[in-house]
Every structure is written in C-alpha cells, then in structure tokens.
Copies of this chain bind each other. A is one copy, B any other.
Amino acid sequence: MTTPKTNFLTMCLRGTSQVFFMENALTGALFFVAMAFASHVSGVWATTMGAAVGIVVSTATACLLDLDDESIGQGLYGFNGILVGAALPTFIAASPQLWGYVVVGAAASTVFTAAFSAVLTKSWGIPGSTGPFVLTGWLMVAGAYSFGGLDVTGDSPRLPTLTQAHATDIPHAIDLLHIFFRNIGQVYLLGSWVSGAIILLGIFIASVRAGVAVVAGSAIATAVSIAMGASPAAIHAGLYGYSAVLTALALGVIFLRPSVRVAIYAALGTVMTVFVQGALDIMVAPVGVPSFTAPYVLTMYLFIAPRRLIAPHPHQPVADHAIADGKATGR
C-alpha cells in the first residue's frame, strides 16, 4: 500500500489519527475537534495549542532529517510529537521556557521514534508505538522540577519541594569562564576549573576538531542551563555541562561525519542533554546516587541509533568513521 507524498497539513492530520493507529486525515481532524472541545470546557487552550505545535514540529523535523518519505506521509513520525505537545502544557504551567521546551521535546520525539524503530522494530518486529512519547514525557516533566523557568502544576504525582524558582541572574564574565572549564573537568568528576583547562589542552593536543566541539558543548550547556533557571550552585560547579560536552563531541565529531547538518543535529542533542541532566538528577535522587554521565549516555544512544535511517545527502554521507574502522568497540 503506497502512500503518495502529500501536503504537510494532511501528513499532520494523519499523524494525529495515528495515536489510535489510524491513517485518516478526517479522523485526525475530529481528534482536534475533541481536543478543542475539552479546551473550550476547561478554558485551558495551552494543551490544544501544544498539540498543534507538537505535530507540526515533529513532522517537520522528520522532513528535515530526510527520514523515509512513506512513513512521514503516513504520519508515523508525528503521533509521538503531538502527545508530547499535548502533555507538557497539561503538567507544566505556560511560560516562555515551556514553549521552547515543547519545541525541543517534539523535535527530540522524532529522533527517538527513529531510534525505537531502528532498535525494536528492525531487530524484533516490535512497534515503537507511543514509547518515544512516554520516554520524552517522563524526561521533560521530571526535568521541569530542576528548572526555575518551569512550574509543574499537574495534580498527578508531584514532588513537593523542588518547584521554587531559582534565581536566574547571569553570572559575571569571570564566573562564566570558571563554569566553562568546570563543565569539562567534571567529566572526570573534578571541581577545579584549572583541571578542566588542562584537560581541554590535552584534547586540543590530540585533535583540534574535538577541542572545538568541547568548547561549543560547554558554551551551549552554560547558556541553556542559565536560560532555564537551573540551580546556580549546580551550574557553577559545572554539573550542567559535563554530559553536554560529551554529547557535543560524540555527535558532532566522533560518531557522525562532521557537516553543517550534523552540527545542527549535535546542537539539538546537546540542548536535550541539558534537559535530560535536569531530569535524571531528579530521577536518581530517591536511590541516593549521582547522575554520573547518564544524561550523555542516554541522549547519545538515542541520537546515534537512527543513524542508518537518516538519509545521507548525496555529497554529505552521514558516515561513522569511528565505528567503521573498528575503533569504537564498547566506546
């Protein structure tokens, strides 16, 4: 059953119907009527707006990543994004950061959908279904407790103590420099900014390109964590940067062939790593352990898994030199 390439609105409405496994734009339109009716009754339109943003961003992300046309046309890269877009405003109060969160979450849900497909469906015929939505939703609602710019409001299980807004003052230049280097040193659990600088020197000695990626990763993590209102103490200790630094390096240089497209992909992964850091810090707290590099590990696994699904551009093959030449055993 081939599905001809179709217009963007039809793709989005089919994706809306795919939450119930249907591929029918009219059904999708009725689902939007159902959402609008509920918003009309409750007076809260953020959920319906979030759903619209989610389906558009996730479907557009699939197009930008050149994922397979037939699946995109059937709406199969959109139904997780629409659920992310509907769920986040249901559990988090509206704010500028929320909308940035919805956009990044919906884009990431498309990557996760491709990852689940590459792993579960390819190996065992298990459909990913709404698994990517569950994963994205858990990470982003949990992460919201870590960020002062986001306020968890749902009456579902809610942590009582962590929702106060953090001060979001921008640190002084010298503080920013210390944060920048501590983000690197903390990969080795080192709180000294000088140690971070020595490590960066060691990286540049081995590879200038790797050094540049580390610099970019540390800068992105600092900006995003401050903008989201993360704990100033954690930011200053470099605890929001060490995982992001590794993601920027792994996705931008090591495991994918560097290009403009890959740089944007790596930047999305790096931003997502900061959010996942906020989430895992909350998620592991009940068992009394630190996050270690889990935010990097989880994000990198999910962003690398769909590698073979992401169609290389004719002259920009998304290759995998590190793995291809046998260097990446277990790395």
Residues of A within 8 A of B (CB): 1, 17-24, 26-28, 30-31, 33-35, 37-38, 41-42, 47, 51, 68, 70-71, 74, 76-77, 79-80, 83, 86-87, 90-91, 113-114, 116-121, 123-134, 137-138, 141-142, 145, 152, 154, 156-159, 185, 187-192, 194-196, 198-199, 201-203, 205-207, 210, 214, 246, 249-250, 254-255, 281-290, 292-294, 296-297, 300-301, 304-305, 307-308, 320, 322-323, 325-331
Report how far A98 CA is from B126 CA in the complex, Å.
31
| Pick from B19, B23, B288, B300: contact of A187, CB under 8 Å | B19
Whether the pair A301, B131 counts as a contact (CB closer than 8 A) is: yes
Whether the pair A304, B90 counts as a contact (CB closer than 8 A) is: no
Report how far A91 CA is from B284 CA in the complex, Å.
15
In the assembled complex, which residues on chain B have CB atoms less than 8 Å from the CB atom of A34?
A: 185, 188, 190, 192, 194-196, 198-199, 202
Whether the pair A30, B159 counts as a contact (CB closer than 8 A) is: no
A142 to chain B, nearest CB (A): 5
In the assembled complex, which residues on chain B have CB atoms less than 8 Å from the CB atom of A117?
A: 329-330
Residue of B nearest to A328 (CB): B127
A50 to chain B, nearest CB (A): 10
Whether the pair B296, A130 counts as a contact (CB closer than 8 A) is: yes
Q: Which 7 A-B pairs have the closest CB atoms?
A: A30-B202, A117-B330, A159-B288, A34-B195, A24-B206, A22-B206, A27-B202
Among A70, A191, A293, which residue has the most Cβ atoms of chain B within 10 A?
A293
In the assembled complex, which residues on chain B have CB atoms less than 8 Å from the CB atom of A132?
A: 330
A281 to chain B, nearest CB (A): 8
Report how far A292 CA is from B1 CA in the complex, Å.
32
Whether the pair A157, B284 counts as a contact (CB closer than 8 A) is: yes
A288 to chain B, nearest CB (A): 4
| Pick from B87, B138, B203, B288: contact of A27, CB under 8 Å | B203
**Given contact pairs A202-B34, A288-B157, A329-B117, A125 touches B76 in the complex (Cβ within 8 A):** no
Residue of B nearest to A204 (CB): B27
In the assembled complex, which residues on chain B have CB atoms less than 8 Å from the CB atom of A214?
A: 20
Report how far A201 CA is from B31 CA in the complex, Å.
9
Whether the pair B21, A250 counts as a contact (CB closer than 8 A) is: yes
A322 to chain B, nearest CB (A): 7
